[in-house]
Structure 1
Amino acid sequence: MTHFNSVKKAALQAVLIFLSIFMIIGCATTSSGDKKTQGTQKRHISSAIFSQYGFRLVEQKQIEMISGTAYILEHIKSGAQVYYIDNDDKNLSFTISVSTPPETDNGANHVLEHMTLSSTRSYPGKEVFFGASNTTLNTYMNAQTAATYIQFPFSTTDERQYKQLADYYLSAVYEPTLDDFIFMREGFRYELPTKDSPLTINGIVYNEMKGANANILRQANSVMRESLFPDTVVKNDSAGKTETIPTLTVEDIRKYHKTYFVPSNSIIGIYGDLDIASFLEFLDKSWLSKYEKSIPLAKIPEQKPFSKPKSVYRNFPVTASSNAGGRAVISKGYALTGVGDKEMPSLMLLINILNNDNSPLMKALDESNLADHYFINVSMATRQPQFEITAQNIAPEKASTFEHIVVKALKQIAAEGVAPDLFNSVKADFYAGAVLARENTQIGLDILESMAVGEMSIGSKYAIATSNYDVQNVTMQHISKMVDRFLVNNNHSVLVIVDPKPGLAEEQEKAERDRLAKLKASMSASEINALVTQTSAFNSWLKSEDKKGQESVKKLQVLTPENLDTDIEPARIKEETWDNVRHIHSYVKGPALRTTFYLNLSDLTPEELHYASLYMTLTGELGAGTMTEEQVDYQLSMLVLGLNTTVEPFYTSYDRKNSYPVMNLSWYSELKNARKAEQLVSTILYDTILDPSRIKVLISMEKARADRNLQTNAVYYALSRAGAACAQSYTLYDHLAGIPYYQFIQKAYKEVSKNPSVIIEKMLAVRDKMLVANSPIIITAGINSEEASNAGKVITKRLGSYNGKSNTNYTAISQPAKKTAFVIKDSVSYAASAQPIPVDKLQTFTLASDILANEYYIPKIRLEGGAYGASSITDRVYFAAYSSRDPNPMRTLEIHKRAKNADFALKKETLAPYIIARYGMETAPLGLYTQAFVNAVNYIRNYSIDDMKANLEKTKNTTVMEVEAAIRNINAGECYAVLANESTLRTADVSFDEVIDLTKEEK
């Protein structure tokens, strides 16, 4: 439940919008002008270094926000563009971005993204990617498909591993094998086990898109894209539609790859502190010099602007039992033709201003009470940016009213601008993203990916990537002109209404069954026999040993456990106590101060914890003390770099045996503003004004977010419930962040709609009970300073007295049923099974989990079963296996039960890569302040540097016998949670202790 005030949320969204929105697979003011960014400046590299290896230096530019230098290179022979960012970051990043115009809706782009990393000429096999991801020292490996491009990113902290993984990624992009059976597994296939069996369809991408297309927000976005760009390929769904994916053939894939997957149509990104001369030599001699220039970076013709706005109405499938009234999504969208690098910082700031709760637009929409939630999205992947203002949970007949309010508010902003305080606060807040850029541990990938997106979409490498920094030069006049030019006077606009239709889900399911039956009926006897033979051959291939893949993965394993360094930089911790407040300071050199305030909430009842959590979520969104909501928003943006307010479990020791609920209030500030920032945060905490009309709006927004989380992250809820069912110490977490809190928000929404005073009275009572001096802890991270020494003295001074006995083991929450089913609306399912594990065997069970994920769950559940996701994890106190977007969750549970019987014929040399990969995950770098904060928390838990080293040594020295024993002790069939639709659960041959219908929560 990470929370930012409205400006903070908007700023965070904007950082992510351009990088990941709808990917499938997300200051001129004096207070900001002298801010410093993190890191140290790097060296200058001579252009002779580049030319020596066949590259031409096109330009170079300082990127202040990451203390780095960008070198834009062109490989002369192949025409490939290479973006190299040189700085002191040890988390080395690599990307390949390919421009991929979607020629149809058949999902060729998406299926190709899946297939490329499965098998390549240099690294052949059935499925190389997961083996590589799970047995090499990497901090991130993935690939993702956007509307008009595909990106292939990875990162690692080891330069030897970096080069080898780059070799694999280059081979995947430029020379995948694109085998028939891999296409059938990753894309789709018809299955006919016997001639008398019903014809069925399966495939990883096919099932993934069944889940993705069950999200009404994604559907609305897709309809908007189709409607704004009807005459260009942008209208096509690059991820694929379930009704058209079955028209795709492997020959279509091969043809598409041959056309677009060439160096001259791609951008290669390199980032971090590495030997660039050696790497460029490898890149030239091993790869790029083998290619000639072919097509330039693929461009997409612009959609001709409309002469007048349009409107589009579509139905969205929901079950017959659904209450669809007032559940529509309505969006007002614009194609922003002509946005260039000069306009981009203004556009980024405009998005943040409009998304702000205090903007004229959001105020007008909130006051209308038309919908539960409003938000703005922008996608750069459409080349002509797609800008949308969306209302969620709205009556479809209110579309014209919604459009009128939006247009009127935009005209007002174009004519009058916005309040100076709003403009300056949003601007300062957005710039804070540049100040704390290096807190993002994957900033290298984010910068490289956004540079490539900027080049492909608007021909500007830096406009998106450095917009947090470049926003300093934006003025109010720029904002007004942007609104006037690109929104008010822009007829290239569509009003989209996506309206849920009860019963349409069943109609579509029946239509698909009928299509499959008709298709089989149309097949000749020889065609049926051929499909039976093909199904058998494919299943045999799936289950066969992947010797080539094993050899390919082995080539990528360039390190041994002996290479691993278990030295850890010592933490610099200082503790003092004043007025019964425990203050821990963790030293780190940087431009800001991070402060965290913990309060023990163990005296609150389980229900009161939910009200406390809701109150903390609303802080910063309302007026406080003598300040109006707008003034709070302004002061937060000017004084606080980031604010996080939650109620969460605090584990008293590393083993997580005991926990208690805490209020967690964390914020960043510049040192010079530290005292003022704390005074502000203190006022917000103690004196937030619970205005009934605003409470209604904010709780409806919280409900919309909860609904969206359930739609997009259902597997998280399955894991949370399964973990709590098997481990008592995890029940508090599940209560605060799992299904119980989702249910509480649904209930609060209904209650506040009837009588907000009831909710307000409960929150005020909980606030009084919460803000007492029950074991207060202040943690600071920053340089040693007077500001750090005095941190916490303002905010703790107002605490009420506490005469009780502090409890550090909260047991008021009953452990949930061991076997629970949750009814949801999705056409695909989510499953998780869990069991408790002994903490002294954690390292062994974690390695066992890694092996099971790679060699058992992924092959059987994802590759054979067609689920989009399958894996396993350990979380100190429990082990869990899970699946996502799963067509057969009951089969998955059975596979979970049989895991202990898996025989991997482990040897020391086959275990070693898992040890290396796990070491990479355990030692992955954190942000400067985050690492300092973690050091302080470990100190509180008496988890020392020596303990950390000992656990790394445990991992490093784990034996085959120990891992085999752990696998034999896997018994994840006792506790499980499944989220599935009513039809799936009704036909399930699995028993449940409890079935909870979440579809009724929304009624």
Structure 2
Amino acid sequence: MNFEINNIYSGFKLLKKERVEEINSLALIFQHEGTGAKLLKLENDEDNKVFSISFRTPPHDSTGVAHILEHSVLCGSRKFPSKEPFVELIKGSLNTFLNAMTFADKTMYPVASKNKKDFYNLMDVYLDAVLYPNIYKHPQIFMQEGWHHELEDLKGEIAYKGVVYNEMKGAFSSPESVLMRKIQESLFPDNTYGVESGGDPDHIPELTYEDFIGFHKRYYHPSNSYIFLYGDGETLEELNFINDNYLKDFEKINIDSSIRLQKPFNDILERVVEYPVSQNEGEEDKTFLSLNFAVGKATDRELYLSFEILEHLLLETPAAPLKKALLQSGIGKDVFGNFDNSMLQPALSVIVKNSNENKKEEFKKLVFNTLEELATKGIDKKLIESSLNVKEFSLREADYGGYPKGLIYGIKCMDSWLYDEDPLMHLNYEPQLNSIKEKAEKGYFENLIKDYLLNSKHSSLLVVKPKKGLADEKEKNIKEELKKYKESLNKEELQKIIHETEELIKRQNTPDSQEDIEKIPLLSIEDISRTAEKLPIEVLEEEGIKVLKHNIFTNKIAYVNLYFNTCNVPQELIPYIGLLSGILGKVSSENLDYEELSKEVNINTGGIYYSSTVYSDNNEIDGFKPMFKVKAKSLISKLSKLFELISEQVANSKFDDYARIKEIISELKSRMEMTIFDRGHMVAAGRVASYFSSSAAYSERVSGINLYHFIVELEKNFENKKKEIELNLVKVSQIIFNKSNLTVSVTLEEEDYEEFKKVMPNLIKALGDNAFDKCSYDFKLKAENEGMMTSGKVQYNAKGYNFKKVGYCYSGTMQVLKTIISFDYLWNKVRVKGGAYGCFGGFNRNGNMYFVSYRDPHLSNTLKVYDESVSYIENFTEDKRGMTKYIIGTISDIDSPLTPSMKGEKAAANYFSGITHEDMQREREEILHTDIEDIKNLAPMVKACMEEKNICVLGNEERIKEEKELFNNLIHLFE
């Protein structure tokens, strides 16, 4: 349809119409006449349609009201009164994205789907949720999702409970999370960015139900909304739906959701913050030092993009001059940057990790001296070119790791739209990019350093340091506070809390009525494709090397993955494979020092990355293929240079620069610690699998807790071990990088394959031609049942076993069980009633199954829930509609959209595991034909696995010690 400026379409007036070439879209910007609601549609041929409705929600305190509300509005509404329509949609829609997000100044509710009917269903549920939530009818929603006093009888102790309360306890357990949250607080003490929108656990219990309701009344109105649509949907039909079903019933009101600018400071503001470490941990070399600068406004389109590039240039590569200066000074052991431009006043941070408070002045002086030198003497032009290329490649590739493009574009639009500016400014990146390129030759980045960093009037110096016993002290204070609170209440007031607790439990235990469940829209099985997607793969041979070719449109980009089989590496050297993956590309080679090498990679490619991975054998219990993976990409025109650079790194890297190797080992340790805190649930799941699975035991040695302990040991004893490290890295490299070990996977268009063939010999000639014997591994599998203790305030509880080892075969029905267990049984027992932030189950083709919880206040209670799943499965019952819902939700999960590079990787992974298209089709048919009896028949399998009693818990030291009888080994995870 040809929309005309100033015309009104279903209540929406078209204000602007513009072609956005960078994302191949036509942008239509509307305003709703009746309410003032803003709407942006990006029309294109993308079938993965995206919708979101967002509100400007600046909090005024750290009670987490915006975050709690984000959770709560999705717990039932006017048209969809079931307790959790959000979860019902996860169980039973074909969504490609379904979530909600709380930012520092906005709350977003995005959904995506390729299916038109499903897309409208999702829009309907989300619009009703935000505009007509049941929070007004049921205070228990606030209690469950936010916080409440829990008391079950007069003799019991009062406790704080709530999903967001526990989520944020978990968030504040991570020192990196504390750091990032306190950076904003230090820079913006007087405006909304100075408070914690997610909620500080110390302040969440200050939020009243009345203030919670008031926040919704104040901000959740169409007049304060930003509606975003993306894809190939009929725009007029979408406008009709939104207006006729929702906006026509509202009138325009004045809402003051404005965000005040923080005034600059006269001097650098300095703050010291503490974070908890356990009693056994040392406090030395565990401090974070951070210099932070407010940088203009997010609505300065050129500055917005320039500082993304400058942050990369200064801090994100081995050639980054500020990072290099800080590492070589010995002030800290890890250096990284952060540029947060999803707020009105963006902020750049220079961060040193694993330092000490007494290094603060040295840190400050070195940062400013280095910046002064760069601004005065100039930045290496090649370094500027390399960072510009990295950003440009990223913008043009638009590969967001499986997230819908439209979702990322919608978030980016809000970085200007929310502040009353053009929502397209950051999508129209070509003018800014060209301007920056032109000015880069004339001292542009040097002037940015002078103007916004050296001469900054708005900066902070933050010290985040460890304190032993801080977590225990806080818990003790909370218990004392609650004890005093209970003592201050009379019997009537205590009975009121008991009654409210009973009412909440009653609501949680009462199933939704069938009538309410059926109000949630549901597709039919007929809406699902019965055919599994056939991933493109052709097995060829070039130069005596096996090549897996994936013919996909890639917009002239070649995605090249090199897979080196590592089965020839002796068992005692396996951890060196993990170390090697962290070192390659960061050390000098025979022909280039590591800085030059980094610049060459960033100028000529889209990146070269190294990792170790394991592919389980689909046809053999405990069979697996260990691989060293080189993941790389470049324009077709740069393929020759890509292979030249890979060859230089894998064949000519030098491991005798001990100072550099030590820096990298320290950085690896730091980054692994961050992963353990951020992904504790998957760390625990991987660890428990290593008790009974050879492939998982191998993975632990190249990427898990085993590798972390190995890295810690190397760092601690580096001077004594440096020669040994060098020799072992050389030895492992010589074993791995041989033609006989190599399989190449390449994803590109058919017409470009000849160019790949032409340049492939450049890579092959750099590899060894030696033959090594395959090694036999014996990992001595047994139930270690570890309690891995940290200063964290919550737990990550995992339990599992391998069902093939107790006589069962994999079936697609298990994926339906996974959906049922994750989003019905565990969700209700562990999240809703238990207060954990997350929980789910997994059933893998290799036989490994697990249950896991995330940011969980409980330990043994959750493990008991896992065991009791057997009874749930034995007695499982559901009507036809319910089974349809679970089948659709399962198909949605296995049909997650894949980018071209992801399709190539998945096809290669299936090839190595021996998974055929026929296997994928059989799995799909088993899913589509699953019935109640099929689910019930899996109860003995789950029972057999649970009875093997393999558990791993990563969590609070005191809690684990209290329940030490559950464990065979108690481990202090950090020293």
For normalisation by structure 2, the TM-score amounts to: 0.94
Structure 2: state its 5+ residue gaps.
none
CA contact (8 A) 1:83 1:448 kept: no
Shift of 1:912: 0.8
CA contact (8 A) 2:166 2:857 kept: yes
Flag the 1:990–1:451 CA change in 2: closer, same or farther, 3 A.
Answer: farther
1:982 maps to: 957
CA contact (8 A) 1:574 1:584 kept: yes
Flag the 1:46–1:559 CA change in 2: closer, same or farther, 3 A.
Answer: same
Flag the 1:150–1:439 CA change in 2: closer, same or farther, 3 A.
Answer: closer
1:927 maps onto 2:899 in alignment: yes
2:114 maps to: 157
Q: Deviations over 1:93-147 (max 9, x none)?
A: 2222211111111111111111011111121132222122122111221112111
Q: Which moved more, 1:674-683 or 1:524-533?
A: 524-533
1:47 maps to: 4
Amino acid at match of 1:661: P
Taking the aligned partners of 2:407 and 2:431, their CA distance within structure 1 comes to 17
Q: Which moved more, 1:274-283 or 1:251-260?
A: 274-283
Matches within 5 A, 1:751-766: 751-752=717-718, 755-766=721-732
1:447 maps to: 409
Q: Which moved more, 1:887-896 or 1:571-580?
A: 571-580
Shift of 1:706: 0.8
2:739 maps to: 773
Amino acid at match of 1:433: S
Taking the aligned partners of 1:489 and 1:184, their CA distance within structure 2 comes to 48
Matches within 5 A, 1:410-489: 410-438=371-399, 440-441=401-402, 442-457=404-419, 459-465=421-427, 467=429, 470-474=432-436, 475-476=439-440, 477-489=443-455
Q: Report SS of the residue matched to 1:96.
A: strand
2:39 maps to: 82
Matches within 5 A, 1:484-495: 484-495=450-461
2:72 maps to: 115
CA contact (8 A) 1:780 1:791 kept: no
CA contact (8 A) 1:845 1:879 kept: no
Taking the aligned partners of 1:965 and 1:50, their CA distance within structure 2 comes to 60
CA contact (8 A) 2:617 2:913 kept: yes
Among candidates 817, 842, 845, match of residue 811 of structure 2: 842
CA contact (8 A) 1:384 1:457 kept: no
CA contact (8 A) 1:92 1:444 kept: yes
CA contact (8 A) 2:5 2:15 kept: no
Taking the aligned partners of 1:74 and 1:463, their CA distance within structure 2 comes to 18
2:546 maps to: 582
2:134 maps to: 177
Shift of 1:650: 2.8
Flag the 1:925–1:799 CA change in 2: closer, same or farther, 3 A.
Answer: same
User: Sequence identity, in percent?
Assistant: 24
1:342 maps onto 2:310 in alignment: no
Q: Deviations over 1:439-497 (max 9, x none)?
A: 64322111111211332258352444565994343132332222222111112111111
1:312 maps to: 271
Q: Which moved more, 1:933-942 or 1:484-493?
A: 933-942
What's the Cα RMSD here? 2.3
Q: Report SS of the residue matched to 1:139.
A: strand
Taking the aligned partners of 2:741 and 2:549, their CA distance within structure 1 comes to 17
Q: Which moved more, 1:835-844 or 1:557-566?
A: 835-844
Amino acid at match of 2:952: A
Taking the aligned partners of 1:200 and 1:573, their CA distance within structure 2 comes to 56
Taking the aligned partners of 2:11 and 2:619, their CA distance within structure 1 comes to 52
Taking the aligned partners of 1:467 and 1:618, their CA distance within structure 2 comes to 34
1:197 maps to: 156
Taking the aligned partners of 1:799 and 1:315, their CA distance within structure 2 comes to 50
2:567 maps to: 602
Matches within 5 A, 1:504-515: 504-515=470-481
Q: Report SS of the residue matched to 1:494.
A: strand
1:383 maps to: 344
Among candidates 478, 484, 492, match of residue 526 of structure 1: 492
Matches within 5 A, 1:676-695: 676-690=641-655, 691-695=657-661
1:248 maps onto 2:202 in alignment: no
Q: Deviations over 1:215-262 (max 9, x none)?
A: 222222333222222222321111111121111111111111111111
Q: Which moved more, 1:65-74 or 1:131-140?
A: 65-74
Taking the aligned partners of 2:491 and 2:560, their CA distance within structure 1 comes to 73
Taking the aligned partners of 2:966 and 2:600, their CA distance within structure 1 comes to 54
1:855 maps to: 824
Taking the aligned partners of 2:482 and 2:151, their CA distance within structure 1 comes to 11
How many residues are paired up? 953
1:406 maps to: 367
Taking the aligned partners of 2:885 and 2:639, their CA distance within structure 1 comes to 46
1:969 maps to: 941
Matches within 5 A, 1:645-794: 645-653=610-618, 657-690=622-655, 691-752=657-718, 755-784=721-750, 785-790=753-758, 792-794=760-762
Taking the aligned partners of 2:815 and 2:103, their CA distance within structure 1 comes to 33
2:526 maps to: 562
Taking the aligned partners of 1:801 and 1:612, their CA distance within structure 2 comes to 19
| Runs of 4+ that moved beyond 4 A | 463-470, 550-553, 568-572, 654-657, 804-807, 939-942
Taking the aligned partners of 2:249 and 2:280, their CA distance within structure 1 comes to 60
Flag the 1:194–1:100 CA change in 2: closer, same or farther, 3 A.
Answer: same
Taking the aligned partners of 2:851 and 2:844, their CA distance within structure 1 comes to 11
Among candidates 861, 866, 877, match of residue 896 of structure 1: 866
Q: Which moved more, 1:254-263 or 1:462-471?
A: 462-471
2:849 maps to: 879
CA contact (8 A) 2:148 2:161 kept: yes
Flag the 1:553–1:593 CA change in 2: closer, same or farther, 3 A.
Answer: farther
Q: Report SS of the residue matched to 1:565.
A: coil
Flag the 1:859–1:469 CA change in 2: closer, same or farther, 3 A.
Answer: farther
Taking the aligned partners of 1:60 and 1:935, their CA distance within structure 2 comes to 41
1:635 maps onto 2:600 in alignment: yes
Flag the 1:312–1:730 CA change in 2: closer, same or farther, 3 A.
Answer: closer
Shift of 1:704: 0.7
Q: Which moved more, 1:770-779 or 1:136-145?
A: 770-779
Q: Which moved more, 1:689-698 or 1:391-400?
A: 689-698
Flag the 1:457–1:488 CA change in 2: closer, same or farther, 3 A.
Answer: farther
Q: Report SS of the residue matched to 1:555.
A: coil
CA contact (8 A) 1:344 1:467 kept: no
CA contact (8 A) 1:890 1:990 kept: no
1:954 maps onto 2:935 in alignment: no
Amino acid at match of 1:986: K
Taking the aligned partners of 1:542 and 1:443, their CA distance within structure 2 comes to 37
1:301 maps to: 260
Structure 1: state its 5+ residue gaps.
1-43
1:25 maps to: none
Taking the aligned partners of 1:219 and 1:679, their CA distance within structure 2 comes to 42
Q: Deviations over 1:596-617 (max 9, x none)?
A: 1111111112342221221122
Q: Deviations over 1:71-91 (max 9, x none)?
A: 222222221111211222222
CA contact (8 A) 2:93 2:885 kept: yes
Flag the 1:198–1:936 CA change in 2: closer, same or farther, 3 A.
Answer: closer
Taking the aligned partners of 1:654 and 1:54, their CA distance within structure 2 comes to 60
Amino acid at match of 1:415: T
Flag the 1:422–1:376 CA change in 2: closer, same or farther, 3 A.
Answer: same
Flag the 1:756–1:805 CA change in 2: closer, same or farther, 3 A.
Answer: closer
Among candidates 353, 357, 360, match of residue 313 of structure 2: 353
Q: Deviations over 1:978-1003 (max 9, x none)?
A: 1122211111175223332213xx3x
